[in-house]
Structure 1
Amino acid sequence: MTDVTDEPIYKTDALIAEDIDRYLDVHQHKSMLRFITCGSVDDGKSTLIGRLLYDSKMIFEDQLAALEADSKRVGTQGQEIDFALLVDGLAAEREQGITIDVAYRFFTTEKRKFIVADTPGHEQYTRNMVTGASTADLAVILVDARKGILTQTRRHSYLCHLLGIRNIVLAVNKMDLVGYDQAVFNRIVMTYRAFASEIGITHFLAIPISGFKGDNITGPSDNTPWYKGPSLIEHLETVEVDQAADRARPFRMPVQWVNRPNLDFRGFSGLIATGTVKPGDAIRVLPSGKTSTISRIVTLDGDLDEAVAGQSVTLCFADEIDCSRGDVIAIADSPPQAADQFEATIVWMADEEMLPGRSYWLKIGTQTVSASVQAPKYQVNVNTMEHLAAKTLDLNAIGVANLSTDKPVVFEPYADNRALGGFILIDKISNATVAAGMLHFSLRRAQNVHWQPTDIGREHHAALKNQQPAVLWFTGLSGAGKSTIANLVEKKLARMNRHTFLLDGDNVRHGLNRDLGFTDADRVENIRRVGEVAKLMTDAGLIVITAFISPFRSERDMVRQMMRPGEFVEIFIDTPLAEAEARDVKGLYKKARAGELKNFTGIDSPYEAPENPEIRIDTTGMSAEEAAEAIVARLIP
């Protein structure tokens, strides 16, 4: 008699393919949670993530073998597997037993997909932690049960709240080292709750865990019968994230790329930041304010009837209107604002302190503009939450300051929209990211002060004088001969009936800039003011001659950007320091060497020589008269 079963013993290729398709479909439609682990040094962040990867079976056999071998080599207190080695990839991290860089890892469970960022605990790497937190939906803040709440616990909690993370897990780790004492756990939670309420964290989940032993990581632990809450992975699988809230907000999409593969197609590609959009919706392009309607929503898999926050799409318009990278497409009847002056919280991330008034690149969404930051209103002490007076910000400092941009920026407060409220500052010379920030609101003067049109413009002023406006920017060390040569150049131009005005560094400090000293920040502001005056004078049609040390390339470049192309002429009076010091007409070098004159360029303050000046004059090989003659000959052949 033959056995008959409903299921074949061996599945056909078709059935196997169906199983794979079913699995991929389920996997594709799982929700995604991005979270970070943070806290102080050696609180067990990397070990916890390694344990999550191990318990979720997200380690390949060859990785596991390598991990076991590395664990034996490192030899951590008899532990069979050192889970931290799964995450600490840098050699320096393994040598020191700490996390330096941000390590991103992916893992999945039956209910959800996860991307976790292991962020460093050392204070000097706070900037790395900010990077990891900027895209996170949840933060797991670890505390060593033996040490309790530390400075970095407070700092990271404050930064998480500042960066808009509203789901906080307080993971009290290493409970096995305190005998799973409930009193220790309760004391830490009570201390943290008092601090959290001060900074605005109204809700958090506290879990007693051991990354080493696996207690309360993937399931309840027999060692903590007094804890009745969820395990860590249970909470991560079920916590609600802000995706629904993002979809409920008005539609916004920063344009990342104008998609023009041929003459028959033109679309605008980007990631939808908030809201939903459908064909037929009325939209507005900002900052221009032009309006149209959506004709198509195009993706690689075909057109969509609707697109939501978190999706990358290409939008086509019913009308031919200007739209380019950096613009923001928004729902027509509820657009965001555009302004050029703001209040913002700034986290300084560079080793060199912030220089108020210096021009940086500000990148917000897909927009990049030139921006300058004013002196901070105050700096935040993350331990006491006090507002401290500050003239600048140094590495890892957090402060509130006003900033201005060279053109309007489309924005929303960071509390409402991360994509249009969060920004970074980039040094124009080194191209390094120096700060991250969150916009609060635009300043009233940004909306109330407008350009007043005039009937007589700069072209008319220049035509009356029969000359092309220009700025002749003399730069070099003190004693190089800038003022002497600039004065001779002006005399020669005057004899040629050119209309000029000489702005000399010393003379300007008697009036316009008499309130400024010689710190780096004051030097930046000195040049910014002179640049603005020079710009007004070129609008009047003048040839402006300036003689300033102007030691920083960034500020000279800032003035260049103020002018029209070709109007800024950088003239480097190249005199070696020894030669300039030997002249020492004013006796300044002698005072600086004696310590009587601080922040003197060339002695205890740097001079950044021009890299590509329009004119370079070597004063060791010619007299001041010859130098002036050579400059005029270059300007007026």
Structure 2
Amino acid sequence: MTRSATDTTTPAANDTTAPAANEATSAASLLRLATAGSVDDGKSTLVGRLLHDSKSVLADQLEAVEHASRDRGQSAPDLALLTDGLRAEREQGITIDVAYRYFATPRRRFVLADTPGHVQYTRNMATGASTAELTVILVDARNGVVEQTRRHAAIAALLRVPHVVLAVNKMDLVAYAEPVFAAIAEEFTAYAASLGVPEVTAIPISALTGDNVVEPSAAMGWYAGPTVLEHLETVPVTHDPAEDVARFPVQYVIRPQLPELPDYRGYAGQLASGVLRVGQPVTVLPSGHTTTIEAIDALGVPVDTAWAPQSVTLRLSDDLDISRGDLIVPQDTGPSTGQDLHATVCHLHDTPLTEGQRVLLKHTTRTVKAVVRQIPSRLTLDDLSQHPSPGRLVTNDIGRVVIRTAEPLAIDPYAHFRRTGSFLLIDPADGSTLTAGMAGDAFTESPSPTP
């Protein structure tokens, strides 16, 4: 059902499949991307250049940037200020929070997350990349691949971001030398391949001067590849969530108790993937009860079909015990259900994650009590080796964990379903997010008592 960005075919007005086709076309023409890289590699300048040169900046926005630049003693507009909107960001000259920008060209629409480069804010990079279909990782041509570059590549690989672009920035400061670019591209591509990244597109750029950002560079005649914008406009968006097996996390049980609707019981939520239809047999997890979809309501209007990422209300044929956090799936297609979860995690909090620590685990719309039973290993970024039995994970560490939950959960392997294979660990004392996790292939049985 996925269409290319240039496909202008539209379904006929009387085609009963038109809603799904329209949704798929819309999804295919939208690219979600994130930028990443070390401090001062030029991420915000690249984003500002993309917005400016693609004429996606309003006149008053550009005027405000020019005014702010003059106040800082700069003769030319600092395009990084188009994204560094917080006062603390402008004062320090670094990106602190994820800045989302929306722009479009005649060929495609974009949702761009400009993420921080500072090690302290790596957690924000993980947030921005979690929903991205493409990550642009910037490298300063003078410094080459550094530890933060490797960390961002590892996070992108763990989050299964389908496309990775290596933007070797500040080529103007190395005299646009091809050997410098080639050496960095070779080192990064080899490292990414060892992480399981299938393909890297390397582009030499200067975000400050605009070389190979929107327009080809006259100073790098040796480079025959696409500019950054050309690649963003043409990279195939190969995944349509409606093509996956259906996953419907229940967010809210609707019982209006109205005289005109005395027996109404609906289960509201957002369809995370796939398609559900009236009359379709389904299973409710983790209970395993089976039933049939009796009706689907979208914005209060009955429909025959719902597809991801629509928010709808399902009505079922049987009166079952279903509550927030349950997962409705097509019959015989559900994920493993259990209480001992093996996962890879990126620890985000300043407080270490330790073995035996009691936490809350949030998966889709369900939050349950859990305990960290084991931390088998921590990833070493330099050589990608596993440091065995570290006992704890500190800020920005990537490691493997075994978690025991108080209640059975139905979690897909993250490699198959990004939305229903991810989870968060939360501090039960103050509600702060501790860790972002990606579920492994399956649950395992354990005789350990429930926490």
Work out which of the residue numbers 248, 251, 257 in structure 2 matches 1:253: 248
Could you tell me which residue of structure 2 aligns to residue 39 of structure 1? 37
Residue aligned with 1:377, SS: strand
User: Within 2, Cα distance between the matches of 1:313 and 1:226?
Assistant: 53
Rounded Cα–Cα distance in structure 1 between residues aligned with 2:218 and 2:342: 51
**Gapped runs of 5+ residues in structure 1?**
1-24, 451-531, 533-560, 563-637
Cα distance in 1, alignment partners of residues 73 and 293 from structure 2 = 62
Answer yes or no: is 1:203 the counterpart of 2:199: yes
SS in 2 for 1:50: helix
SS of 1:333 mapped into structure 2: coil
1:341–1:442 Cα contact (<8 Å) kept: no
Q: Is the 8 A contact 2:294 2:316 kept in 1?
A: yes
Matched, 1:119 2:118: no
Q: Which residue of 1 aligns with 2:84?
A: 88
SS of 1:125's partner is: helix
Counterpart in the other structure of 2:58: 60
Contact 2:47–2:80 at 8 Å: present in 1 too? yes
Indicate conservation of the 8 Å contact 2:374/2:403, yes or no: no
Counterparts of 1:186 and 1:301, CA distance in 2: 57
How many residues align structurally? 423
1:553-568 paired onto structure 2 within 5 Å: none
Distance in structure 2 (CA, Å) of the matches to 1:47 and 1:201? 26
> Aligned partners of 1:311, 1:216: CA distance in 2, in Å?
38
* Secondary structure of the corresponding residue to residue 428 of structure 2: coil
Counterpart check, 1:153 vs 2:149: yes
Partner of 1:511: none
1:420 alignment partner, SS class: coil
| Pairwise CA distance, 1:221 | 2.4
| 1:149-204 deviations in Å (ceiling 9; x for gaps) | 11111100000000111200111111122222212111111111221121111211
Distance 1:214 1:56 in 2: 11
CA RMSD of aligned residues (A): 2.1
Instruction: Indicate yes or no: 2:377 matched with 1:378.
Output: yes
Query: Please, which moves more after superposition, 296-305 or 172-181?
Result: 296-305
Deviation, structure 1 residue 134: 1.2
Which AA in structure 1 matches 2:378?
A: Q
**In the alignment, what sits opposite 1:437?**
437
**Contact between 1:361 and 1:370, CA under 8 Å: does it hold in 2?**
yes
Match of 1:284 in 2: 283
* Counterpart in the other structure of 1:20: none
Query: Is 1:358 matched up with 2:340?
Result: no
Note the 1:319-338 alignment, pairs <5 A.
319-338=318-337
| Contact 1:255–1:328 (Cα < 8 Å) also in 2 | yes
Higher relative contact order (CA 8 A, sep 6+): 2
1:75 to 67, 73, 76: 73
Measured in 1, the distance between the counterparts of 2:94 and 2:300 equals: 44
Judging changes above 3 Å, is the alpha-carbon distance between structure 1 residues 220 and 303 closer, same or farther for their aligned structure 2 residues?
farther
**Which residue does 1:309 correspond to in 2?**
308
Query: Any stretches of 5+ residues in structure 2 without a counterpart?
Result: 1-21
Q: Deviations over 1:295-335 (max 9, x none)?
A: 22221283333222222222222332222210001001212
Whichever residue aligns with residue 421 of structure 2, its letter is G
After TM superposition, give the deviation of residue 285 of structure 1 in Å. 0.9
Q: CA deviation at 1:226?
A: 2.0
TM-superposed deviation, 1:354: 1.5
Question: Which residue of the partner structure matches residue 587 of structure 1?
Answer: none
Structure 1 contact 137–242 (Cα < 8 Å) conserved: no
Q: Contact between 1:375 and 1:392, CA under 8 Å: does it hold in 2?
A: no
**Which residue identity does 1:259 align to in structure 2?**
I
Bigger helix share: 1
The one-letter code of the counterpart of 1:350 is H
Q: Residues 301 and 238 of structure 1: is their aligned pair in 2 closer, same or farther, counting only changes over 3 Å?
A: farther
* Cα 1:302/1:226, change in 2 over 3 Å: farther
d(CA) in 2 for partners of 1:221 and 1:148? Answer: 21
Deviation at 1:46, TM superposition (A): 0.5
When Rg is computed on C-alpha atoms for both structures, the one with the higher figure is 1
- The one-letter code of the counterpart of 1:256 is Q
Shift of 1:43: 0.7
Correspondence for 1:457 = none
- Displacement of 1:139 in angstroms is 0.2
Deviations along 1:40-67, one digit per CA (max 9) or x if unpaired, are 1111100111112222333222211111
